[in-house]
Structures are given as structure tokens and as C-alpha cells.
Structure 1
Amino acid sequence: MMEVDALIQKVLEKFAKRSEALSESADYPYPFGDNIEQRLTPAMDQYRDLMQRHAADLLPRLKALTWVFRMYINEDYRVTYAFDIKSLGTILAKGDLDADTFDPTKVRVSTYNEYNWKCNKLVADAYAVGAGVGLSIGKSLGGTKTKGDGYPAMYEYQGNVCYLWAPQANELTKSDRNLRSLTNARIPRVRSDANALPEVGDIMCFPAEGGLGHSSLYLGKKLIISAKTDGIDIETEEFETEMHDGKARLRKFTGSGK
């Protein structure tokens, strides 16, 4: 597990540098503080413990979170998910998508346009690419056939061109929206409901009326990691909940990727 220890150390160092830089910027309204640093080390210790416990059969949620950590510590990758970067990402011809040789584990979802949040893309890429479970393109999401049991995605045609999209955060937060390979949305921390108890690497999302909402992966200790204004960052669950009218929802990945 030396590689995991090195990754954890780099995450902690990266956070310290980001926190210091942002705290010196008076016009940057980012919620560093709030005991994030005090929570981050025990959260990473919990992550290490889970990686050791499941080393023989690593869970998709841990693979997904590991991939996001690797994106976070690499500045070139971190800013790929920044607010003002425009990239169409994956573009496929209709024949490519329908072909039997199509491998959804090697395809990322498309980004949204410039000035749209990339948080949904990050979560989908983490599971589809980072965890290797691929994209599940089902009829209920606008597809013509289903490819595997991976992270849900849909596609839209523009002529003979196909764009893959992740579900937006508002869609993830709807309790009546059944999405393939994900549990129904739950209000977090309802002890009588096992699917409402956040686990490391789970999908934490926040709805927004008249907006796009926000989606993230859960780190533990009420910390989340997500794509923000200038790329991937770590913050508190409480901050995003407060910013979204006190609402947060949890979804768990249940697919096999096969």
C-alpha cells in the first residue's frame, strides 16, 4: 500500500498549497476553513483503511475516488474540469456507438459548454473511466440500446455525430428518477435506511431550482471533492448544503460494469 500512502501525502500537500493560495486572495469567495484541514487527515486515514481492507477486490466507489485524487494532484488534469474551459470530450459517430466493438470503459462523457459546471462530468468520468465500469446507455436515457451495467449516460445526435452526457445534478437528486446502476436518491444520514448512509466514494449531490445543482464524491468526515470554478477542489458538505437551500441527496453505484 505504499502507492496509496504516497497518493494520500500528495493530496494533503496539494490541499495545503491550494488552501494557502486561496486564503491570500481576498476576492475569492471559497469556503476554506470550517475545520476542513482538521477533518481531511482522518478522512484520508479512513480511505487508506478501506483500500487495505478491500485490496483483493477493490470497490468501484474506491476506484472512482482514487482516480479523482490523481486528477486533483496533477494541475494539468485538475483544471480540465474548470468552469471556463470548453471541450466537447467524446464525440462518436452513430456507427461507433452501435458497434459490437464499442468499449464503454474507455470512453469519457462529454463536457458541457464553457461556463457550465463540469461537476457532473467529473463524477461520471470517475466511475466510467476511473473505476472502469463504463457508461450504461439505456433506452430510458435516450439511447437505442444498453451497453453494460455502468454509470448512466445518454446521447444526443447532431446529424451523424453522437455526444455522451452524464445526468445533471438536479436529475441525480430527484427521488423519483430511476437511473440505471444507481440507487434512488436519498436524504443523507437517515439511520434506518442503509442507502442513506454516506460511504467513501459515494455520489453526493445538491439540487438547485432554476440552476444546474452540484454533484460530488464523498471523502468522509463530511468532506466532498468536486469540480468547482477553477477545477477540482475539496470542501465541506455543509457549505454546499447551505448553498442549495439546505438540501443534499445521496446516490450509490450498484452496477457491475459488465
Structure 2
Amino acid sequence: MPDSHPPVEEAASLLFNQSLEKGLAVLAAFSAVRRTMTIGEVAEAAGINKSSAQRMVFTLEHLGYLRKHPKTRRYQLTPRVMRIGFNYLAADPLIDVANPFLSELTKLTTETTCLTEPDQADMVYVARFVSAQFVPVHMPIGSRIPMYCTGSGRAYLSALPEGEALTLLERSERVAHTPHTRTDVAEIVATLREARQRGYAINCEELFHGDMTLAAPVIAGNGRPLGAIHVVAPTSRWSLEEAQARLAPPLLQSARAISSSVRALG
């Protein structure tokens, strides 16, 4: 008698909710570049047709995640959207573990320190302790930066098996953000090997002018990286040599302490 059960792939596709996918695409379409949008603009930005966009926007407005300006008739996000992101931050044990170590690292270095976690080919800021000193770029919680050209991204990649890191790099859209940005895969892999040897990665003005960071991975008990911590060392205050000499030792100590505490949680 033939098996009446569908293949795993087919069963999974039957469970996939396309309406939910479209609704999330609508929320994700809003950004600093697209703060407000019409229905037509929502459809284009989310990659869906106008009829679907109208249904998604109506539902999200009814649920309180979008609102329409009474005069311009353009839609924008509401603070309710932050509930989902806050729930993640509140439930993430790595943030609770890392916060006291990051706070101490900021006191020791007098520089801004951050924790980032991976999402596809990006790193996402999930914790940040801001120095009283000037920093060239403001990166609030939730900000995303590409792995290939940032200290925290390279620190995370350096702790992965090289084949896995190579796959992520090749899938990345490697854009030259500044004249210093490395976009060649082989060159980036070479920097990962260097980072693996010394325990930390470096970004010197590859994403933003004036911005330099030193970053080290946070490693779980299974040997896999969970994310990375980094110290911001603006080029207006630090040379690369000075940053490596004075900031790298406390950075490594903090990363090891966070990793050990994570392992203790089980």
C-alpha cells in the first residue's frame, strides 16, 4: 500500500503561512530611508502586489502596528512594533551574561563597548555601553552591520569552520563603503586566519570613516560562536598599534569571561 504521507519538504511547504510572510515583509519594509509610505510604495518595498499590501496594511493598522497620517494618508510604524524586539532582548540570556562584563570593559577602556549577534550575513547590536567620549557613529540597539567588513563580523566568522565562513562571505553583497573596505573574499579569509591566531579581529575605517573596532568572539560550550563583543576605538584618539596594545588585552579577557559564564549556564 503506498505511503499516504507527503514528503517532508511538501509537508513543510503546506505549513508555511504566506500571509504571515507578507505581513512581516511589510513591517520590515519601513526604515530610516522609508519612514512613511503609501500603499503602492509598501507593495513595491515589500515585493508584493498592491492588493496584498492593502490587506496587510489594513490588518497591521487594525492591530496597532501601523498608523496612517490624517493629512498625508501615508503609513508609518508605531511603537507597538518594538514589543517584538524588546521581547527578544528580555529573553536572550547572552545579553544578561554579557552586560556586567561590557560595563566593566567600558570603565577600563573609557571607550564604547558592544555585543552583537549574527543574523544571516549581518551582525545585530543587542547590547551597548556608551563612553562619555566622542564616538564617530551612533549605532543603537537593533542596528545591523555586514559581517565581511566589520570587526565583530570578522570575529564571529573567525570562530566558524573556514568552509562555513567562506560560504557566508560568498553569499554577502560585498560593497566598498570606504576606500579601505576589503571586498575580495581571499583577502577577507586571510584576515579571518589572522584573527583566529590572535583571538580578535580588527576593522579600521572599512564601514565608516573615523571608526575603528577591535572585536572578539563569544564561544558556547559546543565550540560554536554565539556572537562577538567589540571596543570602539575612534581613529581620532587611537592608532592601530596603540589600540592593539591597550585595548586588546581587556577585550580578550572580557570575551573569555563571557564565554565561560555562558558555558556555566549549560
Q: TM-score, normalised by structure 2?
A: 0.26
Larger Rg: 2
Q: TM-score, normalised by structure 1?
A: 0.26
Q: Which has the higher helix share?
A: 2
